[in-house]
Structure 1
Amino acid sequence: MMSKQLVSRREILRIGSVGATGLSLDQLLNADVINRSSGIAPRATSCIIIHLNGGPSHLDMWDMKPNGPSESRGEFKPIPSSLPGIQLCEHLPRLSQVMHHCTLVRSMHHSVNNSHAAAVYVSLTGHDRGEAGGGAKPTDHPCPGAIVSLLRPPAQDAVGHVALPYQTTEGTGGPPQPGFFAGWLGKGHDPFWVLQDPNVDGFGIPTLTLPSDVSPERLAARGQLLSRSGTQMVDRRLHAASSAMTDFKGRAFDLLTSSRAQQAFEIHREHEQLRTSYGRNIYGQSILLARRLIEGGTRVVTMTWAPSANDTWDTHSSNFKRMKSTLLPQFDAACSTLLTDLLQRGMLDDTLVAVLGDFGRTPTINANDAGRDHWNHCYTILLAGGGIRAGYVHGASSRTGAWVADHPVTPAEIIATMYHLLGVDYRRIINDQMGRPQQIVPDGRLLPEILA
C-alpha cells in the first residue's frame, strides 16, 4: 500500500515555473487554444496507444501468407480467428478470439525504411519527413496525447496524458525518439512519464509523493501564493492570459493533491488473476496500468514496447525465435486481455485502442539466423473500440506481403481518424510557441470506411 503524501519538491518547482515552460503568452491569447470546443462530437473519451517499437513483422502476426513463396512465408502456421475468413499467427491464440471487435488495416505504408526515429515519428504524429532521424526536437509535431489533453482536458482530477514504461531511445545510449513529446506545443505539454516497472512489488510514482516535511496544507498555501502572483499583472489586456495561467496552475495543484489521481496508479489493487492474465512482465502490467489510468480520467496513454529502438520488435536476427519465445506470447496476453477487460467493464465503446509500429518486416528471410529487415512499403496495424468498426479488414497486401494491393493508407490518415474519434479536428490550426500557425495533421484525411 502507498502511504506517502502527494508530490515531490521537484514537482512543486516545476508547477511554479509552468508559465515559463507551458503555454506561451501568444498561445494563451490565441482563440484556437483558449476555445477548446472543436465542434466534433467525440466517439471516444480516451485512447490507449500500444507502440510496438522496432517494427513488428506483419507477415508473422496478422497478414500471414501460407500460400506464398517459401522464401517469404516463414515458419509459423495460421489459425482461424473469431472474424470469419481472417487468420492470425498460431502464437496469437487469445488475440485471435477477439478479432471480431477489431479492425485490421493491412495496407499501411510511408516513406521511411531506415531510420527508426523517423518511422516512429510518422507513425505517432502523421508527419512524414522522410529519413530525417535523430532525437526529439522542440520543432517536432506534437504527440496525440499533447494535442488531445490540450483541446479536451480531463473533466476530473487526472493526468492528461501519460507515457510508459520507457523513454525509448534511438539505439542504446542514443537520444529519446521523437513522436512521444509535445514538440512545438512546448515542454509544459509533454506527457507525464512513468519510468518505473509496474510489475515490481512496491511500485509507486515518486513524483506524486510529498516529503514528510511538506504537508498538503503547505502545498496548498504555495498554490495560493502562486495564484496571487498570477493575478498581479498590471496590464488589463493580459487579464485573460493571467486567468488561464492561474487556472492551469490550479488544475495542477488539484491533480497533485487528488486521491483519485493517486489511486489510478495503485496497480496492486487489481486481482492477481487479472494481473496474471495481462502478463507478469513490464509490458503487460504497463498496459493494465494504462487501463487504470483511463478509468481514472486520463485522456491518452502511450505504451512504448522497447527501452531502445533495437531491443524488441526490430528482428533483423532470430526473428522467429524471438517472436515465438517472448514477443508474441507477451503481446497476445496483454492485448487480448486489455480488449476483453475493457469490454467487460463497459469501456470499449468509449476507449480507442491503437496498436501501431514503425513499419513492417521484409517479405524475405535473411541469413542472420532467419531474421527479417525493415519494410515500409506495406504493413499492418490494429484498431479497436472508441468508434472503430468492429470485425473489419481494410486494404490488402500483395501475394508476398511486399506491396499494397488495395486501399493504401498512410499514418497521417490513421492519426487524423484517431483525432476525429477523440473529438479533435485534425485540420485545426494552433499557434506554436513562436506564434506560427501549425495544422495538427497537415497531410491528414479521415478514413470513414473504418468507422463504426
Structure 2
Amino acid sequence: MTPPTRCPGPTGLTRRNMLQVGTAGALHLGLTTLLAADEHRTGNSAPADSCILVFLNGGPSHLDTWDLKPDLPQEMRSEFRPISTTVPGVQVCEHLPRLARLMQHCTLVRSVNHDQVAHAPAVYTALTGVRSNVRAGIVGAKATDHPAIGAVVSRHRPAAGHIPGYVLMPYLTAEGAGGPPQPGFLGGWLGKTHDPFLVLRGGDAPDGFNLPAILPGAGMTADRVRDRGDLLAGVNRTATAARAGLTDDLERLQARACDLLTSPAAQRAFLLDREPARVRDAYGRNIYGQSLLLARRLVEAGTRLACVSWAPDANATWDTHGQNFPKLKNQLLPPFDRAYAQLLTDLIDRGLLGRTLVVVMGEIGRTPKISGDAGRDHWEHCYSVLFAGGGTKGGYVHGASDKLGAYPSRNPVSASDIVATVYHALGIAPDLELRDRLDRPLALLPEGAAVREVFA
C-alpha cells in the first residue's frame, strides 16, 4: 500500500483550518486547476486572462436595473427613475449611481433569452450554456451534469502555480432553503477534479464573512500537523472520489492540497486583512462586497475564474416575487452598486481590467407585469447581461428589448451565446470537443456562438 501523502513545509494547519476552506468536498474537489495544470494548456492569444463572474442568483429584474421602460402603464412601470450614464443615450436605475459613472467601461446586452422558467434549470442553462432536460422540481447537482464555465476554464486554462483556478464564493447556492446544491456550478461529467474550490460564508466576523484560515493556528506547528494527520483527514473526507474511479488521482490531489495550503502566494491571496481598511470599506463590509474584493485578489494571484453567487439559496435575494421595489432599493442594489463599482475602479487602477472579463448576470429576468404583492415573477424570455473588460468594447449596448421589456426586438442572444462569449474571451473555442472521464467525446457547447460584436 502506498504510504499516505505528507505535507512538507513551514505552515501549520489545523483540522479547523482545513474545514474552513470549504464544505461539500471543497478541499480536494476544489483542487481542480492544480490537477489540471499538467494538461490541456492553450495559447495566450485570448482577449482575457481571467474572469470574475458576479452571478445575481434568483434573477434580477432587468426592468428595474438596466433596461427601464419609463413610459409603461402603471401596472408595469418601475417605481425607479432612470438616470443618465457616461454613455450618451444609455440610462440605468437611479439606485445604480456608481455604475452610471463607469458605464463607458461596460457593454450591456439587453436581449438575452432562453426557455427555462424555473430556477434550477435556468441556472444550469446560464452557467453551462446547455439546456437542462429538467423543467422543474428539486433535483440538485449531478455527476452527469454538463460542466460549469469555471470547470471548463480550469481544465483548458489552468492557473499557474498553486492558486486554485476556479473558485466559488460565498455560497454553493441551494435550490431552496435547506435544499441540494443548484446544478451548474460543478465539474459534472468532467469529473470532481474540476469542481470549484469553495470559499464559504461562516464564522462570526463583523461583516459576516469568514475567509479560509490557511495561516498556522495558534500553537500548531507543521510537525504537529503531520504527526496528527489532520491534513489528510480533511483530504480523505472525499472518499466518494475513490468510489467514482478517481483512486489514481487521489494521491496527486493530496499532494496538491499540501502545495496549495502551504503556499505563501496562495495564503496572501486569501488574506483580506492585508487590504487597507479603507479598501475593505469601499467594497462594503458585507458578505458580497468582501467576496468581490477577494475575487479581485484571486485573479491578481492567477485564478482564472472567480464566481460570486449572490444568494445562499435561490429564493433568498434577487427572486423578488414580493416587495420587489423595497428589496431592490434597500437591500440589493446599494451593496451591488458599491461593490461592483469599486471592483471596476480597482481593476482599472491596477491595469487589470483589459485582461479581466467581468460578467454580471442572473439566470432569468422578471415579468413586465407587477404582481399583487408588488413583485415581479420569473421571466426567461428577455433579460440583460453586463460585461466589462476582457477585450469588450465599453460604452456599448448590444440588442434591445421591445417596448414592454418582454421579448428581444433586436439582435436576440441566447444563454448559450453568452457562455460562448465568455469562452471566446478566455481563449477557449466554443465548438471544442471535450472528453469525459470515460474518454467519450462530448461537445462543449452543442449550440451557441460568441457575440463578436461586444469585443473591441
Q: TM-score, normalised by structure 2?
A: 0.84
Change in Cα spacing, 1:100 to 1:402, as seen in structure 2 (3 Å) is same
SS in 2 for 1:70: coil
In 2, Cα distance between the equivalents of 1:42 and 1:263?
27
SS in 2 for 1:383: strand
Residue number in structure 2 paired with 1:402: 406
Residue number in structure 2 paired with 1:417: 421
Alignment of 1:122-161 (within 5 A): 122-129=125-132, 131=135, 133=137, 134-161=139-166
Residue number in structure 1 paired with 2:124: 121
Residue number in structure 2 paired with 1:381: 385
In 2, Cα distance between the equivalents of 1:344 and 1:162?
23
Q: Retained in 1: the 8 A contact 2:37–2:158? A: no
Give, as a single letter, the amino acid of the residue that structure 2 aligns with 1:5.
G
Give the superposition deviation at 1:435. Answer: 2.7
Q: Retained in 2: the 8 A contact 1:339–1:348? A: yes
Q: Retained in 2: the 8 A contact 1:107–1:397? A: yes
Give, as a single letter, the amino acid of the residue that structure 2 aligns with 1:339.
L
- Aligned match for 1:112, one of 112, 116, 128: 116
What's the CA shift string for 1:367-411, capped at 9, x where partnerless? 11x110000001101011111121100000000101110001011
Q: Retained in 1: the 8 A contact 2:84–2:91? A: yes
Change in Cα spacing, 1:10 to 1:67, as seen in structure 2 (3 Å) is closer
Residue number in structure 1 paired with 2:432: 428
Residue segments in structure 2 that go unaligned for 5+ positions in a row? 1-9, 233-246
Give the superposition deviation at 1:39. Answer: 5.2
Give, as a single letter, the amino acid of the residue that structure 2 aligns with 1:417.
T
Give, as a single letter, the amino acid of the residue that structure 1 aligns with 2:127.
L
Give the superposition deviation at 1:340. Answer: 0.8
What's the CA shift string for 1:46-70, capped at 9, x where partnerless? 1110000110000000000012222
Change in Cα spacing, 1:430 to 1:202, as seen in structure 2 (3 Å) is closer
Residue number in structure 2 paired with 1:354: 359
Give the superposition deviation at 1:215. Answer: 1.1
Q: Retained in 2: the 8 A contact 1:199–1:285? A: no
- Aligned match for 2:178, one of 173, 180, 184: 173
In 2, Cα distance between the equivalents of 1:323 and 1:84?
25
Counterpart check, 1:283 vs 2:288 = yes
In 1, Cα distance between the equivalents of 2:214 and 2:59?
32
Give, as a single letter, the amino acid of the residue that structure 2 aligns with 1:312.
T
Counterpart check, 1:292 vs 2:297 = yes
Give, as a single letter, the amino acid of the residue that structure 1 aligns with 2:398.
H
| Equivalences, count | 420
In 2, Cα distance between the equivalents of 1:178 and 1:202?
24
Residue number in structure 1 paired with 2:222: 215
Residue number in structure 1 paired with 2:86: 82
Residue segments in structure 1 that go unaligned for 5+ positions in a row? 226-240
In 2, Cα distance between the equivalents of 1:260 and 1:350?
21
Change in Cα spacing, 1:141 to 1:10, as seen in structure 2 (3 Å) is farther
Residue number in structure 1 paired with 2:270: 265
In 2, Cα distance between the equivalents of 1:90 and 1:271?
30
- Aligned match for 2:64, one of 60, 69, 84: 60
Residue number in structure 2 paired with 1:334: 339
Q: CA RMSD in A?
A: 3.2
- Aligned match for 2:40, one of 27, 31, 36: 36
Residue number in structure 1 paired with 2:12: 5
In 1, Cα distance between the equivalents of 2:363 and 2:164?
27
Change in Cα spacing, 1:33 to 1:403, as seen in structure 2 (3 Å) is same
Q: Retained in 1: the 8 A contact 2:12–2:220? A: no
Change in Cα spacing, 1:286 to 1:138, as seen in structure 2 (3 Å) is same
Give the superposition deviation at 1:178. Answer: 0.8
Change in Cα spacing, 1:92 to 1:135, as seen in structure 2 (3 Å) is same
Give, as a single letter, the amino acid of the residue that structure 2 aligns with 1:158.
I
Residue number in structure 2 paired with 1:450: 454
Bigger drift between 201-210 and 171-180 goes to 201-210
Q: Retained in 2: the 8 A contact 1:216–1:257? A: no
Q: TM-score, normalised by structure 1?
A: 0.85
Residue number in structure 1 paired with 2:239: none
Give the superposition deviation at 1:202. Answer: 9.0
SS in 2 for 1:73: coil
What's the CA shift string for 1:407-444, capped at 9, x where partnerless? 01011111111111112122222221233212222212
Give the superposition deviation at 1:272. Answer: 1.6
